[in-house]
Structure 1
Amino acid sequence: MAFLDELEHAVGAALRTDPAELDRVRTDWSGWTTPETPLAVVRARTTSDVQALLRLATAHRVPVVPRGAGTGLAGGAIGTAGTVVLDVSAMDRVLEIDQENETATVEPGVVTDDLAAALAPRGLWWPPDPASRAISTVGGNIATNAGGLLCAKYGVTRESVLGLQIVLADGSLVRLGRRTMKGVTGYDLTALLIGSEGTLGVVVEATLKLRRVEADPVVTIGATFPDVRSAAAAAAAITASGLRCAALELMDAATCAAIDALVAAGEGPAGDLPALAGRGAFLLVQTDGGAAPREAEAALRCIADAGGDGRVAPDAATGAALVALRRAAHPAFAKLGEVLIEDVCVPRSALPAMFEAVEAIALRHGLPIPTIAHAGDGNLHPNIVIPASVPHAPGEIPDVVWAAGEELFRAAIALGGTLTGEHGVGVLKRRWIAEELGDDVMALSRRVKAAFDPLGLLNPGKVW
C-alpha cells in the first residue's frame, strides 16, 4: 500500500503493523472492543512524527485516531477499520518547570503521577486529580477535560491549562493560549481544544498552571449514613452552605462492601482503615487552607443534620488512609466481574434524586450498579457490573447494559444534568448527545469541527 510505504519512510520504526499492536488499540479501559482492525499504529516520539503522519494522512485521505495511555472509559481512542492510531504515550518529557511563574511545560504522554513526582521537590502541584492518575496522561486529561477528587474546589483540567501546541489535521503546527496567567486576545481556542477528544487537533505540548504546596492544615472527615439518599442530602447541604471542600466523595453501600472485600483479601490500601461493609453509604470530606478546622465543623453539622455519623481523622496518616479507601473503589469493582464505568453529572441539589434513580434502574434491570460520586460537583460514576449469567462475547456490551445506561443518561438529563462529566462521549455515548445538545448546537459544533478538520480525518466516528 503506497500510503504505508510512504509513512514508513517518514517515521521509520515508529510505524507498527504487527497483529499484537493492532489488537492493543482496538479497546480501552471501558472494556468495549471494536470488531474492526486499524491499518497501523504510529508510536510517535517527536512532534515531527505527528506532523509527518498527519500530512500523509491528509494527502491520502486516511483517518487518524489520537491515543495516549488507553485509559479512556468511553471508547474515544479506539482504532477502527481504515484508521491509523497515533499513539503519543512515548512523548513523555517534562520540558520545563518554571518555579518563579508557577508553570510547567510538558509533552502529552507524561503520566499524571509522574508529573506530581517531578513537581513535589519544588513545592508545586498540578490540581487535576483523576482516580486514574497513576496510569493516565496529561494529554488524556486534556482530551476529556478530566477532573477527579479535588475538582470541586480546584477545578477541572481546563482551569489548569494556559496554552497548547497542537498539530492540525493537515500537519500544521499551531500554538494556542499563552504563558501568562491571564489574557483575552482573540478567541479562547485553548479552552475549546480541552475536552474535544482528539477531534480538532493533536496536542503535542501543554503549558500548565501550577499551585504552591501550602503548609495550611488539612482536615479529613469520614462519615457513615444509614442510606445513600441521606448521604447525598448531606453532600448537597454542605455545598449549599457555601463550603468549598477540597474533596467531597460519596460511596454507596455496594461500593463500601466491595472495598472492604478488597482490603480483606490483602489487595487494597494498608493502614488503620475503618470497616465500611454494612454501611448504607460513606462520605469522605476534606477541607484545607487556613479555614479548614472551621469549615470541617460546619461540614460535621450538615452531616449530623442529615442523620450521619461523622468523625475527624486524628492524624494525617488516618486521613490519607480514608482517601486511599476512596481510590480503591475501581480496583474493588474489577473483582466483582466485568464492569462498565459510567459517568453522569447533575446539579448538586439533584444528587439525592439521581442516586434514587440509579437504585431504581439497577433493580429494574437486575444489574448490580455500585455508585461513587464526586459529590462536590454532582458527578456520579455508576458502575454497571455485567453478571456472568448474561451471555455476551468478550468486549461486547450486552443489550441489558445498553438499556440500563440509556435510562441512566436520560435520568441525568431530566434532572438538568449531562451525559458525561469527565469521561467524554467517545463512541459509547454518541447516540444520545443530540438529546442533550439539541439540533442547533449540534449543527454549530459540526461547523467548528469542519473549521479545524475540513476532511473529517481526526478521530472519525467519535463524539459526532
Structure 2
Amino acid sequence: MDLIEELRAALPHEGAVLTDPDLLRSYEHDEADLCAYGTPAVVVRPRTTGQVSAVLRAASRRRIPVIPQGARSGLAGGANAIDGAIVLSLVAMNEIVDIDPANRIAVVQPGVVNAQLRREVAAKGLYYPPDPGSWEQSTIGGNVSTDAGGMCCVKYGVTSDHVIGLEVVLASGEVLNCGRRTAKGVAGYDLTSLFVGSEGTLGVITEITVKLRPAPASSLTLVAVFDTLPAAGAAVESIITAGMQPSMLEVIDRVTLSAIEAFRPMGLPTTAAALLIAAVDSGGRAPDDLAAIAALCQQAQAADVHVATDATEADALLAARRLAHPAMEQFATGLFPSGGGIMVDDVAVPRTRLVELIEGIEGIAAEYGAVVATVGHAGDGNLHPIIVIDRSDPTSLARGQKVFDAIMSLGLSLGGTSTGEHGVGLLKRDWLAREIGPTGLKAHRSIKAALDPDNILNPGKIF
C-alpha cells in the first residue's frame, strides 16, 4: 500500500486527505515574510488522536517529514512546509472536551481557536488569560507550540504559565500523556514544559489541559501621549519599578499609529510620537491604581493622559492595538506597490533596559535609512519592531536583513532574548544558536534525537 492509500484508509472522512496541487499551495507557509517554504506531497486533517498516531506511524516507517500546522498565523516560519512532506493540519481537532469550573481547568483539542475558548469559559465566570494578537484566528495548539503571549502577559504570563497537561503523539506514533489535572503535582520530569514551545519538533500535541482563573474585575484603561518614544519607555520603567501591576501596558509608535488610522479610521492621535495604553483590573483598587499610573506617565513628560470613559472606548483602544500587523502590511504595500512587505521582529529585554532598546532601534533605523515601526508589550520589555521592505528590490531586502540582525544583536547585548513569544521557527535559528551557545545547542539536539531519532518532525525548525 502506498502512502496516500494508507492515509486515506486511516482517515476515511471526506476532506481528510488532500492532494490537489491548488489546495496544497494554501498550506505551504505561515505569516512570516521571507522564510523559505516548499510544497507538501499531501495534507492530512485528522479528527482524533488515533488518526494522528496512524499518520505518524506511516511517516515514520517511510521516514517522511511531517509538518504540524494550526491556523498558520505564526510569524517565524515555524509551520512552513518542505517539499514532499506530509502537512498535518490539526484545525479539524477543534473540540472543547471539558470545562471544569470546580477545578478551574479546561481540556481542549489543539484546533480550538483562542477566542472561542476565552468566550466559552467566560460564560462560566472563568478566564483564560493568554491573548495573542491573532486570538480570533490562532489555535490553542499553535499557541502552546510557540508558547505564545499577548497583551495580558504583563500580569498573567504567557501560555506556558497556564498549561498543566498534554497528550502528545510521538514520532513513532506512540501516545504520551504528561502533566496533570491536579492543582499541584511534581511526579517525574516536567515533560509538559518540554513540549510547550517546542514548535512541533518533538511531538504532535493532540490534547491540552489548561488552568483557568476566576474572571477578573472590569478593567479601567488610560492612554498616555508622548512626544518621544523613549519617554514612553521611561514611563513604563517607572510604572514597573513602582510596583504597579497593570493588566496591560502596550506601546504604539507614530508610524504604527498612522498605519492603523489609515487601515481603520478611529481618531487616533497620529501626530504623537508614541501612545502608551495601560489597563488595570484590580477591582476596588482600580481607580487608585490607574490614577497612580497616570501620575507616573505625567512625571515622564506625557503630553496628555486620557482615561477611557467607558468599556466601549477601552475596547476600541484594544482593538486598535490588535490591528498593528495588518495595518503595517497595508502600509508597506502603499509605500512599495510593487512588492511591499514587512519583517516582524520579536525581541525582549529586561524591563530596566527598555529605553536603551527603544533608543537603539531608532538609531539602527536612522543608520540604515529604513522604515521601522515599533509596537509591543512594553510592560514585559517585549517589542515588535516591524521593518518595512520592498520584496522586489534586492537592495531593500538586504537592508531589511541588516536592520533585523542589528536589532537582534542589540537585544542580546542588553541581556535580552531573540524571541519573547513568536518562537524561533526558521527566522531565528542562527540567533537561537548565538543566544544559547554550543552547549545549549548540543542539549537541544540530544533531546530531539531521543524523541525523534529519524528527524521527521518539523525538520529544520528551531536549530
What TM bracket, shorter-length normalisation? over 0.9
1:10 is aligned to 10
Give yes or no for contact 2:35–2:427 (8 Å, CA) kept in 1: no
- Aligned pairs for 1:271-420 (under 5 A) are 273-290=266-283, 291-308=285-302, 309-337=304-332, 338-387=341-390, 390-391=393-394, 398-420=397-419
- TM-score, normalised to structure 1, is 0.94
- Residues 197 and 281 of structure 1: CA distance in aligned 2, closer, same or farther (over 3 Å): same
Deviation, 1:363, is: 2.1
Give yes or no for contact 2:357–2:411 (8 Å, CA) kept in 1: yes
Among 147, 150, 157, the alignment partner of 2:149 is 147
Q: Deviations over 1:380-407 (max 9, x none)?
A: 0111111377359xxxx92222221111
Give yes or no for contact 2:391–2:397 (8 Å, CA) kept in 1: no
CA–CA distance in 2 between the matches of 1:155 and 1:434? 25
- TM-score, normalised to structure 2, is 0.94
Deviation, 1:463, is: 0.3
Higher mean C-alpha displacement, 96-105 vs 224-233: 96-105
- Residues 217 and 41 of structure 1: CA distance in aligned 2, closer, same or farther (over 3 Å): closer
CA–CA distance in 1 between the matches of 2:154 and 2:170? 32
Deviation, 1:33, is: 5.5
Secondary structure of 1:398's partner?
Answer: helix
Deviation, 1:10, is: 2.4
Deviation, 1:91, is: 0.5
Unmatched runs of 5 consecutive residues or more in structure 2: 333-340
1:173 is aligned to 175
- Residues 263 and 6 of structure 1: CA distance in aligned 2, closer, same or farther (over 3 Å): closer
- Aligned pairs for 1:182-193 (under 5 A) are 182-193=184-195
CA–CA distance in 1 between the matches of 2:46 and 2:269? 45
Deviation, 1:460, is: 0.2
Secondary structure of 2:111's partner?
Answer: coil
- Residues 389 and 91 of structure 1: CA distance in aligned 2, closer, same or farther (over 3 Å): closer
Q: Deviations over 1:312-367 (max 9, x none)?
A: 22222222222222122222112112222221111111111111121122222232
CA–CA distance in 1 between the matches of 2:350 and 2:160? 19
1:98 is aligned to 100
CA–CA distance in 2 between the matches of 1:48 and 1:126? 28
- Aligned pairs for 1:67-78 (under 5 A) are 67-78=69-80
CA–CA distance in 2 between the matches of 1:33 and 1:427? 7
Unmatched runs of 5 consecutive residues or more in structure 1: 265-272
Give yes or no for contact 1:168–1:200 (8 Å, CA) kept in 2: yes
- Aligned pairs for 1:247-258 (under 5 A) are 247-258=248-259
1:246 is aligned to 247
In structure 2, give the amino acid aligned to 1:404.
V
Give yes or no for contact 2:253–2:374 (8 Å, CA) kept in 1: yes
1:269 is aligned to none
Deviation, 1:6, is: 2.5
Secondary structure of 2:123's partner?
Answer: helix
RMSD: 1.7
Q: Deviations over 1:6-49 (max 9, x none)?
A: 33332245221111222112221113363532221111111122
1:116 is aligned to 118
In structure 2, give the amino acid aligned to 1:313.
A
CA–CA distance in 2 between the matches of 1:36 and 1:100? 46
Give yes or no for contact 1:129–1:147 (8 Å, CA) kept in 2: yes
2:338 is aligned to none
Give yes or no for contact 2:32–2:75 (8 Å, CA) kept in 1: yes
In structure 1, give the amino acid aligned to 2:357.
M
Secondary structure of 1:438's partner?
Answer: helix
- Aligned pairs for 1:427-442 (under 5 A) are 427-442=426-441
Aligned residue-pair number: 451
- Aligned pairs for 1:47-62 (under 5 A) are 47-62=49-64
CA–CA distance in 2 between the matches of 1:305 and 1:315? 25
Runs of 4 or more above 4 Å deviation: none
CA–CA distance in 2 between the matches of 1:299 and 1:385? 33
